[in-house]
Structures are given as C-alpha cells and as structure tokens.
Amino acid sequence: MSSAREPATPEQMIDNDRVRVTRWSFNPGAATGWHVHEYDYIVTPIIGSAVTIVDGEGRETAVEMVAGVSYFREAGVAHDVINAGPGPLVFVETELKEART
C-alpha cells in the first residue's frame, strides 16, 4: 500500500441522499490512498492513464483507464489507485447510495 505517495485530489461535486459524485485528479505517481467502497460506483475517466491498483494483500494490477470509457463496481472493493502514467489522470466517480430493489 502507498503511504509516501502524493495524494490524489478529490473534488466533491454532488453529495445528496441518492448519489455522491467526486472528481479525482492525479499527478503522475499520485494515489487515492487505501480505501473501501461503501457503495456501488461508476468511474468515468476524463483524462485516461495507466493505473496501478493495489489490493489488501499488496498485489498490484496494471490497468489502462481510457478517457470516456466508464466501468461499474459493486460496494466492498478495497484498494489503492495509483497513476502509473507519465501525465495527469482525471476521473469522475459516481457512488450510488440507494439500495438496489
């Protein structure tokens, strides 16, 4: 897990009873820090980059976040997200607070 990395910068855009929308901005090498997702969520990269995902056992997975290509994950995901590319990374994360019916 990354403890000595520059932190990514979150900007809360919307936070109400139904959703939380956060814009995340990363310089090269910056990281979110270890966290667990409380809600189902969608990520939409605005500026894509190579990314390293570090799980709870310290395993690293390389992924490519492609601008404009969204993905969905269920609550409970636990990880650190690191910008492994040479340029900035920006994505919008939309957390779904309402339970599925």
CATH of the domain at 50: 2.60.120.10
In a domain, 69, yes or no: yes
Residue 75 is encoded by which pair of tokens? 């609550």
Q: Is residue 2 included in any domain, yes or no? A: no
* Within-domain flag for 3: no
Q: What is the pTM of this model?
A: 0.91
CA distance readout (Å), 60 to 23, 43, 63, 87: 23, 19, 10, 20
Reported as a single tens digit per residue, the pLDDT across 2-58 is 458 999 999 999 999 999 999 999 999 999 999 999 999 999 999 999 999 999 899
Structural domain harbouring 24: 9-96
Asked if the structure places residue 4 within a domain, the reply is: no
Q: Is the pLDDT of residue 100 over 90?
A: no
In-domain check, residue 19: yes
Q: What is the predicted pLDDT for the residue at 92?
A: 98
Domain count within the chain: 1
Asked whether residue 51 is assigned to any structural domain, the reply reads yes
